[in-house]
Amino acid sequence: MRDNTLKYLLVLPAVLVVFATAIWPLVESLRLSFTVGRLNKPNFPQGYLGFENYTWAFWEEPAFWNSVWVTGIYTVLTVALTTLLALGLAMLLAPGGRLRSGVQTLLILPFAMSPALIGVSFRFMFNPEFGLFDAFFGAVFPPLADISWLAHPQLAFAVCVMADVWGWIPFLTLVLIGGLASVPPETIEAAQVDGASGWRVFRDVTLPQLAPVLAVVIILKSIFSLKTFDQIFMLTNGGPGTATQTLSHYIYFNGMKYGQIGYSASVAWLMVIPMIFLTYAYAKFVFRKAS
């Protein structure tokens, strides 16, 4: 057998698995998005509707726009906060920074937790009767005690953001530490000798050289934020009301809970659009760096 044939044969099983578990469902969901697709009615998927599911989401469903809004704000806040805090931590933890390995290991810990677990543990921590934060505020600042954090729309949203930032900082910090390590130290020293203050060294020399890594971090985190589901599902289940209902949660609810597979497939495909842009940008940055 020619090597050429053999090499395709060897890859074939992997391609088949990916095709069956990723490509086919993707195509099938696109097909379903043009159907009635009610799970709770006979003769699934009950014929084609054209773009009606899409127009329905756009013009007739405030809940869709609510989840778009929630996802947008959530993404902007979590990306900004996580990146900024991770950058600060990375500066402290990087070789030559002010903190070292013992602390480093400790700070990586949240990353070892699954997002669903983070959701559960934050739900307990914000429990108004026996939660950590209730106890903390009760001792330090009593007016803030006994607040039902997760029952208040804005507070619940803030808690979701906080849990996400908490969970993602370690990973982003690690990536940024790597990025900082690749900044040649003599460029920083040259700037110091040239007369730049600490802040100007950071702004003029460190940050521009970190920009490619920072871009990758921001794009990656945006993708992760946009598709957040498990944590929200465990922490607030989209509530109170729909105050913390992200797009993926909305899709899940409509598809799995209300049985509107056709409709939720169409919303899922709407979500694919920003994802494609981000993935494209990510690939562009990563491969530009590699080449």
What does the binding site for another protein look like in residue numbers (CB under 8 A)?
Answer: 184, 186-187, 189-197, 200, 204-205, 208-209, 211
Q: Which is nearer to another protein, 207 or 275 (CB)?
A: 207
Give min distance, CB of 159 to another protein, in A. Answer: 40
Q: Which is nearer to another protein, 204 or 230 (CB)?
A: 204
Phi and psi at 264, nearest 5°, equal -65, -30
Q: Determine the 3-state secondary structure of 196 from DSSP.
A: coil
Alpha-carbon distance 186 to 115, whole Å? 40
Angle formed by the axes of helices 153-181 and 101-108, nearest 10°: 140
Give min distance, CB of 108 to another protein, in A. Answer: 27
Give min distance, CB of 94 to another protein, in A. Answer: 17
Give min distance, CB of 210 to another protein, in A. Answer: 10
Alpha-carbon distance 97 to 13, whole Å? 47
Alpha-carbon distance 136 to 151, whole Å? 19
Q: Which is nearer to another protein, 46 or 197 (CB)?
A: 197
Compute CA 118 distance to the chain's CA centroid, rounded to the nearest angstrom. 14
Compute CA 100 distance to the chain's CA centroid, rounded to the nearest angstrom. 28
Alpha-carbon distance 214 to 234, whole Å? 30
Q: Which is nearer to another protein, 144 or 190 (CB)?
A: 190
Beta strands in the chain (DSSP E): none
Q: Which is nearer to another protein, 121 or 209 (CB)?
A: 209
Give min distance, CB of 184 to another protein, in A. Answer: 7
Q: Which residues contact 186 (CB under 8 A, 6 or more apart)?
A: none
Q: Which is nearer to another protein, 138 or 184 (CB)?
A: 184
Q: Which is nearer to another protein, 64 or 285 (CB)?
A: 285
Phi and psi at 192, nearest 5°, equal -60, -45
Alpha-carbon distance 163 to 155, whole Å? 12
Give min distance, CB of 182 to another protein, in A. Answer: 11
Residue of 159, 170, 107, 166 whose CA lies nearest to 133: 159
Q: Which is nearer to another protein, 68 or 183 (CB)?
A: 183
Q: Determine the 3-state secondary structure of 35 from DSSP.
A: strand
Give min distance, CB of 93 to another protein, in A. Answer: 21
Two structure tokens written together for 76: 């902007």
Residue of 252, 180, 173 whose CA lies nearest to 217: 173
Give min distance, CB of 178 to another protein, in A. Answer: 18
